[in-house]
Amino acid sequence: MTAETILIVDDNPDTLHSLDRMLTTWGWKTVLARFGMEAWGILLREDAPLIVMVDWNMPRMDGIQLCEMIRMKAVDRCIYLILMTVEDRPEISAEGLLAGADEILFKPIYPDELKARLHAAGRILASCRKAQDQDSSLLIVSRDELTGLWNSKGVLRVMDHQLHRACRRQEHTGLILLWLDDFEMFNSLWGEDISQRIVLRTARELQISLRSYDELGRTAPDKFLAVLPDCTLEQALILAERLQKCVETSGEGYIDESYPLTASAGVTAASAHSFLDAVELVHLLERTLARSGRYARRCIASSEPALAPFLSPALPLQMKGA
């Protein structure tokens, strides 16, 4: 599929098929979905449509939630989002645009208006493809070469988007910085080939342990960062222990069981009113781990983002260690 394919998402079958007939008459190819999660499955394909028309009000996952997921999960792809709604309130457009929609289309839909908006969408996507053709590295610049996870730049961008989303929704965002203990020493003992196999296995196990809408990045050879939407500090601490166990099992069969692979974790949860940005929160996690005596191995340390400007050795940290 290409930019000439449009994904239409609407739980009303009459609207769905009416739009399908209209668009195919104009020469567009269409893919139809009745629900948000069905649409998300289609968008996960490599040949996913690049124009999405989605209804605002749908059961389970509505149009706002789908827009937010697309912007969070597909930050390295050009997707043009048209949000359709019957509501005509002044704040509707602002809410839809903040969720990531490019256009708000009010029902009933007038053919001439829709045709003009799709023409604009095609022009914008053509410019996007041209820019990507000029620098193909844009397609992979946000991904870690070894694991395929977000790299440092990519996960910070995802994290920044999630923090803005959490602010709108008045939610917490949990963050876990997982630091492999003594990785440089193990790397010199195992050799690069074994080290890479263990990192790949670790990445896979961590992804399995996270929720489907959580995000995971590899920010350094020995560091992983998990971004956890709608997650409190208490919940993030519980998850950090689970991730530590994943790391330990990742080394099984490769290294001496008498000195297993372990990880320490810095944990925090940014509230809707936290004033730190993504980079500052990562620095907070690193300082939290450094102050906790991370080199004791398998340590978990947490800190509140609100304390960041006043951090000093006198401030107590919540810590757990082996």
**Mean pLDDT for the chain overall:** 83
Looking at the predicted structure, is the pLDDT value of residue 219 above 90?
Answer: yes
Tell the CATH topology of 152-320.
Answer: Alpha-Beta Plaits (3.30.70)
Amino acid at 115: K
3-state secondary structure of 178: strand
Contact present, 223 and 178 (Cβ < 8 Å): yes
Note the pLDDT of residue 140: 54
pLDDT tens for residues 195-208? Answer: 888 899 999 999 99
Which top CATH class is 5-139?
Answer: alpha beta
56 φ, ψ (degrees, to nearest 5): -70, -55
Looking at the predicted structure, is the pLDDT value of residue 137 above 60?
Answer: no
Contact present, 115 and 22 (Cβ < 8 Å): no
Kindly report the number of other CB atoms within 10 A of residue 290's CB atom. Answer: 13
Where along the chain do its domains lie? 5-139, 152-320
% of the chain beyond a pLDDT of 90 = 43
pLDDT tens for residues 60-99? Answer: 889 999 998 888 777 667 889 999 999 877 788 888 888 8
Q: Write out the two tokens for 96.
A: 């839809």
Residue 160 has, within 13 A of its CA and on its CB side, a CA count of 11
3-state secondary structure of 196: helix
Mean local confidence (pLDDT), 212-232: 93
Looking at the predicted structure, is the pLDDT value of residue 309 above 60?
Answer: no
Contact present, 45 and 2 (Cβ < 8 Å): no
Note the pLDDT of residue 317: 40
